[in-house]
């Protein structure tokens, strides 16, 4: 039977590249999305066109009941989960901390942090040997912003990714004896739509001169690291942060 992976935010950007690459590596893929069903359906179509197995599954990761319903749909349609990629994440428009309102902060942390927690919780219930599962892996998507802090742009986003890194370290130790490895990737500046959603569509190339490799990365370059961390090729790696940032 194929291993089964759920990729949150698997419909666009890094998540879509991860879904497509995981399918090439033989995974059956659940492609989660929040709103844009057409983009999710297109990823599913491409996977099926290549002979793979995939389903699209809607859930806002910040909504606990939608997350629980999503995992139940994946159980029913694909079977027992082998891996989770906590990729869904948002930025907001550039702004200083003294300008951030509570609604922005709540949305940021609910999506980037709490969403990853509840998805991990549901995955562990299915994968952990403690709960009768056969083990698995979780890959969280952090950001180089967790190191840099995002000053003047989005300290809230950077701090949410800092939380993801502490979560990765703690959870990795908590489930290490239950057959589950937990790691994170730390992408640098990657060419995706996320920059436009923060009001700066050209941001990736504008920041390229700050990158030692002098270019943004591609979603595929991040997906390659994620798929490595998901699979048995990284069997002795847990609690790690893997920088995918062109040396930045």
Where in the sequence numbering do the catalytic residues fall? 157
Question: Which of 143/234 has CB closer to ligand NDP?
Answer: 143
Interface residue list for ligand NDP (CB under 6 A): 8-9, 11-15, 32-36, 39, 60-62, 87-90, 111, 141, 143, 187, 189-190, 192-194, 197
Q: Strand order in 180-187's β-sheet?
A: 54-58, 28-33, 4-7, 83-86, 136-141, 180-187, 241-244
Smallest gap, in angstroms, from Cβ of residue 177 to ligand NDP?
28
Q: Looking at beta carbons only, is 128 or 227 nearer to ligand NDP?
A: 227
CB of 48 to ligand NDP, least distance (A): 18
- Least separation in angstroms between residue 113's CB and ligand NDP is 11
Cα 100–chain centre separation: 25
User: In angstroms, rounded to a whole number, what is the distance separating the alpha carbons of residues 80 and 154?
Assistant: 37
Instruction: Report whether 177 contacts 183 (CB < 8 A).
Output: no
In the complex with ligand NDP, which residue's Cβ is closer, 12 or 181? 12
Q: Nearest to residue 83, comparing CAs of 226, 242, 233, 221?
A: 226
Q: How far is CA 234 from the centre of its chain?
A: 18
Distance (Å, whole) CA 218 – CA 13: 9
Sign, CA torsion 120/122/124/127 = negative
Q: How far apart are CA 219 and CA 238, in angstroms?
A: 23
Q: How far is the CB of 223 from ligand NDP (least distance, A)?
A: 10
| Nearest distance from C-beta of residue 57 to ligand NDP, angstroms | 10
Do residues 60 and 36 make contact, with C-beta atoms less than 8 angstroms apart? no
């Amino acid at each position: 039977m194929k291993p089964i992976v759920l990729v949150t935010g698997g419909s666009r950007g890094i998540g879509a590249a991860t879904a497509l690459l995981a399918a090439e590596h033989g995974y059956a893929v659940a492609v989660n999305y929040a709103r844009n069903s057409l983009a999710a359906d297109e990823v599913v179509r491409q996977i099926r066109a290549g002979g793979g197995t995939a389903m699209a599954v809607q859930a806002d990761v910040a909504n606990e009941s939608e997350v629980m319903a999503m995992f139940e749909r994946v159980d029913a349609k694909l079977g027992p989960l082998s891996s989770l990629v906590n990729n869904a994440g948002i930025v907001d428009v550039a702004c200083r901390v003294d300008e951030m309102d509570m609604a922005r902060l709540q949305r940021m942390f609910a999506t980037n942090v709490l969403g990853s927690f509840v998805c991990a919780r549901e995955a562990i219930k299915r994968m952990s040997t403690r709960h009768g599962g056969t083990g698995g892996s979780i890959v969280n998507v952090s950001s180089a912003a967790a190191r840099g802090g995002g000053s003047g742009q989005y300290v809230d986003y950077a701090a949410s990714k800092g939380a993801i890194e502490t979560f990765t370290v703690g959870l990795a130790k908590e489930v290490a004896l239950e057959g589950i490895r937990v790691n994170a990737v730390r992408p640098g500046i990657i060419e995706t739509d996320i920059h436009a959603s923060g009001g700066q569509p050209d941001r990736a190339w504008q920041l390229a001169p700050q990158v030692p490799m002098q270019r943004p990365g591609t979603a595929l370059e991040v997906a390659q690291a994620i798929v490595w961390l998901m699979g048995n090729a990284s069997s002795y790696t847990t609690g790690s942060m893997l920088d995918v940032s062109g040396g930045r």
